[in-house]
Structure 1
Amino acid sequence: MRRSFAFKCTLLVIAWLLIAIACVQIPARTFWPASFGALTLPVALGLNLVAVVYWLLRNWRVAALPALVAFLTWPHFQRGLALHPAQLAPMRAAPEPTNQTVRLLSANVRIFNVYAQLREKDPESPTKFIQWLAESSADVLCLQEFYNEPVGSRTGEGRLFRSVDKIGKQAGRQVFLSKTLTNGAGAEFGMAIFSRFPIVGRGTISFDRLTQNHAMYADLRLPSGDTIRVYNFHLQSMSMDEKDIVDSYSSKAGLKKKGLGLMRRFKRGMVARSVQVDTLIQRFEQCRYPMLLCADLNDLPYSYSYDQLADRFQNAWATVGNGVGATYNGALPFVRIDNQFASPQWQVEEFKVNYEIPYSDHFPTSATYQLRPAPPAQ
């Protein structure tokens, strides 16, 4: 009787797992409840592994079923918890750079904490962050929620926020600044791509209207003569306060007070991101160059937007990382919303989340890519 019940539970877990995977592939604009079903996928994956262990101890023949499911769904497991022990080898040599190597850094810089309340914990954080980016060895920097004060700006901060000059020209990089707002004092908000490789093409992709949630790209000429395209994009924000989220699950009263409003905002964000990522996929499919993508997705690895990208590109963390790879610098644990992706022409050599740089609510990510040799012409 106990084995019969355990077997039924195993079948239910497998059914749950398959339904959750199906939910991941349904855009929220079509059927938004599927997005909530998709968020249960890591639980179903974990329970299926528990079933594998249980049946190995009880009946190895039955264990073959959840083991086969675990094998077939392993790429989904890797999306949330990457396992690559070889990358942890202490004597692992760093790859030698070539004229087809690209070192890429991505960061949501939270407007460099320009407002006083953002730098209460560390008043020097803007200076430290800008200096760290300027001195970075990365060939290409993709920055979201960018902020710059050009010459003639009347904010009274002097040279502190001359970020385009400090990260760009003074550091030997060209810059493409995609501005979404210039305020009355002359300060500029938007996103930016900095490159030590020549920028030979550029463009901006808006989602209905140009806001901080948009995309930009730059075509770069490598020393090898190859042209590549780097996309930098920021999908729809949650517009959810971290304190409200923590309060909602800390007590029943908090859930009743905050839960419904949070769910509405979460739903609106999911619907918007599903539209935005489909817009980007159409543009990606038209690109003839090898692509590297840097993104603040504002979405988890078990979401439609992540799934659409992971189906077409290599996720750098899932390819060579270890662990969860959380990128959110806040009270919510294990949240990875910042990602880098690479088209199949690239070999992902290294990927790192820079936890030593705590100056924003996002940790920067950095990676090294090697362009694979082009296949011989037929």
Structure 2
Amino acid sequence: MAVRRSFAFKCTVLVILWLLAAIACVQIPGYAFWPAAFGALTLPAALVLNLLLAFYWLLRDWRVAALPLAVAFLTWPHFQRGLAVHPLRVVSAAEGQPGQKVRVLSSNVRIFNVYPQLRDAGLKSSRNMVKFLAESPADVLCLQEFYNEPAGTRSQDGNVFRTVEKIGKDAGRESFLSKTLTNTAGAEFGMAIFSRFPIVNKGTIQFGKLSQNHAMWVDLRLPSQDTIRVYNFHLQSMSMDERDIVDSYSSKAGLRRKGVGLLRRFKRGLVARNAQVDTLINRFELCPYPILMCADLNDVPYSYSYDQLADRFQNAWATVGNGVGSTYNGKLPFVRIDNQFAGPEFQVDDFWVHYEIPYSDHFPTMASYRLVKK
């Protein structure tokens, strides 16, 4: 028994050291040492193993159990990033409480499936997505990979993609479209923010050359006469096809065939995203107003990009959610790359993922906040 305990204790110490090393890796930007990202991705396993060892020692020696339990307590915020646990939070208890309420919806709409390979019969998914957004009760909508055909666009689709008009003016919202491209037919690509509150200022943040990977912001005047700033941003993707990813880990032949190319894309996307989030953090620190933000991070909760934001702001899902909160609508399970964050002046009341809206490769997210000015 003494030998077994000795071996178990050594395993416990090793797991704790692994956990601390993985947390350190999360804080290393890809442009400084990109392989650290692989260490960061092992953090969920280290967190779970530490909890299991804590339970193991509780059954055998509570004095030893104090070590993994203390580590679990100190690292609980990291655990919550990937698996939120709020079992007593069934419904919001915010009704009737003070503070200006703001409801925010965020969604990567995948250009409303306008490309031929994304279309379905009668443009049903495109029409349903636009209808869902136009009828949403949200006060603010932040949309990535946006597409719009303004009046005068040479199109054979009628007014299906007159999205700024339908989601904005026709639905009683002001709009700001941050355009990255206008094609020869007059159609517009970019990102958009729609608001039922007046937009009093707005702007765009580029990461070098303006592309679909950029940030935009609006200052909104609330009925309480407070001004808040809402950021909407889309960080660099890895340009990795999910079929290639599945192939790479399904067989040795697939790994040899796809592995090198995937690694190269992984590195390129990682380095770009980490530099982009640093640019945004510098801008956030200069903002004079309470901040809400919506993002397609193209990164998981155990990454430098997420860590830099979560260290400074409340992640809405980690604050009030339960479970993984996956937002990617594809073959890769349990992937949460779409997030909402809030400054300390806000109380997060609710957050949920619209799994009933499957018209993009991202599920929309919705959150309710109250401005309480802590």
TM-score range, shorter chain: over 0.9
User: What letter corresponds to residue 158 of structure 1 in structure 2?
Assistant: G
Matched, 1:199 2:194: no
Q: Select the residue among 56, 59, 69 that pairs with 1:57.
A: 59
2:97 and 2:241 map into 1 onto residues whose CA distance is 42
2:31 equivalent to 1:29: yes
Q: Report whether the alignment pairs 1:320 with 2:320.
A: yes
- Name the Cα RMSD after superposition: 1.3
Contact persistence 1:134–1:171 (CA under 8 A): yes
Corresponding position of 1:187: 187
Given that 1:168 and 1:175 are in contact with CA atoms closer than 8 Å, whether structure 2 keeps it comes out as yes
Residue in 2 that maps onto 1:135: 135
For the residues of structure 2 that align with 1:340 and 1:218, how far apart are their CA atoms? 16
Q: Report how far residue 155 of structure 1 moved.
A: 2.3
From the superposition, tell whether residues 260 and 122 of structure 1 become closer, same or farther in structure 2 (CA, over 3 Å). farther
Output one character per residue of 1:68-120: Cα deviation in whole Å (capped at 9) or x when no partner: 1000000000000000112226xx65624877110000000000000131134
- Secondary structure (helix, strand or coil) at the match of 1:58 reads coil
- 1:338-349 aligned within 5 A: 338-349=338-349
Give the 3-state SS of the residue equivalent to 1:260 in structure 2.
helix
Aligned AA for 1:217? W
User: AA paired with 1:19?
Assistant: A
Conservation of the 8 A alpha-carbon contact between 1:82 and 1:321: yes
**Taking structure 1 as reference, are residues 266 and 122 closer, same or farther at Cα in structure 2, changes over 3 Å only?**
farther
Q: Does the Cα contact within 8 Å between 1:99 and 1:222 map onto a contact in 2? A: no
Residues 219 and 227 in structure 2, CA contact (< 8 A), matched pair in contact too:
yes
CA distance in structure 2 between the partners assigned to 1:7 and 1:38 by the alignment: 24
Structure 1 stretch displaced more, 209-218 or 112-121: 112-121
Aligned to 1:306: 306
What is the CA–CA distance in structure 2 between the aligned matches of 1:70 and 1:99, rounded to whole Å? 34
Secondary structure of 1:106's match?
Answer: strand
Shift of 1:63: 0.8
The equivalent residue for 2:247 is: 247
Structure 1, gaps ≥5 residues long: none
Kindly state the Cα deviation for residue 55 of structure 1 after the two structures are TM-superposed: 0.9
Does structure 2 retain, via aligned residues, the 8 Å contact 1:113–1:119? Answer: yes
Q: Which range is displaced more, 130-139 or 57-66?
A: 57-66
d(CA) in 2 for partners of 1:246 and 1:52?
Answer: 34
CA contact (8 A) 2:110 2:360 kept: yes
Moved over 4 A (4+): 96-99
C-alpha distance in 2 between matches for 1:176 and 1:302: 32
- Aligned match of 1:80 in 79, 82, 99? 82
Q: Is the 8 A contact 1:99 1:223 kept in 2?
A: no
Listed one character per residue, the Cα deviations across residues 276-310 of structure 1 (whole Å, up to 9, x for unaligned) are: 00000000000010000000000000000000000
- How many residue pairs get aligned? The number is 372
Letter of the aligned partner of 2:147 in structure 1? Answer: Y
Structure 1 contact 205–214 (Cα < 8 Å) conserved: yes
Q: Is the 8 A contact 1:144 1:234 kept in 2?
A: yes
Q: Is the 8 A contact 2:99 2:372 kept in 1?
A: no
Q: How does 1:68-147 map to 2 (within 5 A)?
A: 68-88=70-90, 95-96=95-96, 100-120=100-120, 123-147=123-147
Q: Cα 1:313–1:98, aligned 2, differ >3 Å: closer, same or farther?
A: same
Contact 1:203–1:216 under 8 Å retained in 2: yes
Partner of 1:85: helix, strand, or coil?
Answer: coil
Residue 359 of structure 1 aligns with an amino acid whose one-letter code is Y
When residues 261 and 201 of structure 1 are mapped into structure 2, their CA distance, relative to the original with a 3 A threshold, is same
The answer as to whether partners of 2:99 and 2:371 remain within 8 angstroms in 1 is: no
Distance 2:368 2:39 in 1: 34
Provide the residue aligned with 1:330 in structure 2. Answer: 330
